[in-house]
Copies of this chain bind each other. A is one copy, B any other.
């Protein structure tokens, strides 16, 4: 009767497969049956054919103690961010989010007022991004807070961009600086430790507004989708930077069957991030490539379209798509060429 005892001799730890390996492994045997299911698991969002438009669907779950820490995350920001991370996935398909559903599970330590704060953030995101909350579920959890958001968007058949469309010779573009959200998190974690060791000490957050803001209140690059439209640009491939530039490049490499040649000098790093990395004795480019949660867009374009992006603000050309056999490489400022490592967020920590 009891199910929590091992029933089978084999027990593979989830860490063995890694986050992406795990998803691939679990979803490999799900054939698509409906003609309207154009794209299933494996991109920023699923794509459904509705005749006139394509419907794009993305879902993300945020778990207390894994994705956020309420010691330093205001609930309103949490609500806001939980929406943004999903909208970002829809924009990464070159589509526009229209609706969201939100499911929240929370323990009794949260009051109605706490929930109102979360919904206040959700409402603000809905207002700013013109998205409708159309459904959801609020339930209890034995412990902690879990927020699951699904975003539904609309795209045009010819303009939807997948991770799989990059071609050799395409240019790699990034819509803004990267690594700042990661360094913001490091500051918050440091101040949390100081506070825990000495609750009388005030946290030193002043002067770190930019980095902390990138972590706690990210924005999705809706504006870029608008600029693409104005300029008649359709990227060949696109992905949002949630796990880190390196990790996203590996997704594009794998799904497009191509290699990547990334220029360190082309990867934008904010001056605050640069300084803060050095203060933490971290390599700024490593933070920029492996830190996640920037929610910028990384996309590739046909080189003939370079004039369409050259004068866009916040746009950085950071490398080139190369043949698959050339691998995924970083050309450093010092002139060396390194193989990049994919380092997605490692959420599967030690057993608790």
Contacts and interface: CB of A to CB of B under 8 A. Distances in A.
Interface of A: 1-4, 6, 8, 10-14, 16-17, 19, 22-23, 25-27, 29-30, 32-34, 36-37, 39-41, 45-48, 50-53, 55, 57-61, 63-67, 70-75, 98-99, 101, 103-113, 115-116, 119, 123, 126, 130-144, 146, 148, 150, 152, 154, 191-192, 195, 203, 205, 347-352
Nearest to A26: B119
Given A57-B101, A111-B11, A4 B70 contact: yes
Contacts of A40: 132-135
Contacts of A111: 6, 10-14
A191 B45 CA distance: 43
A119 B25 CA distance: 10
A340 to B, nearest CB: 24
Given A2-B195, A73-B3, A138 B351 contact: no
18 contacts: A1-B191, A3-B71, A3-B72, A10-B113, A11-B113, A30-B126, A34-B98, A37-B134, A40-B133, A46-B134, A47-B134, A50-B53, A57-B99, A60-B103, A61-B103, A103-B148, A141-B146, A142-B144
A146 B61 contact: yes
Given A50-B55, A51-B51, A57-B152, A132 B37 contact: yes
A32 B27 CA distance: 34
A150 to B, nearest CB: 4
B70 A3 contact: yes
Contacts of A8: 113
Contact of A195 (B1, B25, B41, B136): B1
Contact of A138 (B23, B39, B138): B23
Contacts of A131: 33-34
Contacts of A2: 71-72, 195
Contacts of A12: 111-113
B34 A135 contact: no
Contacts of A113: 8, 10-12
B108 A46 contact: no
A66 B105 contact: yes
B103 A34 contact: no
Q: Please provide the 4 A-B residue pairs with the shortest distance between their CB atoms, ordered closest to farther.
A: A46-B134, A108-B351, A50-B50, A148-B148
A202 B75 CA distance: 47
B112 A60 contact: no
Contact of A144 (B25, B51, B103, B143): B143
Contacts of A27: 119, 133, 136
A243 to B, nearest CB: 12
A72 B3 CA distance: 6
A197 to B, nearest CB: 13
A139 B66 contact: yes
Nearest to A34: B98
Given A33-B131, A66-B141, A46 B107 contact: no
Contact of A348 (B103, B140, B347, B350): B140
A143 B63 CA distance: 10
A17 to B, nearest CB: 6
Contact of A59 (B16, B136, B192, B350): B136
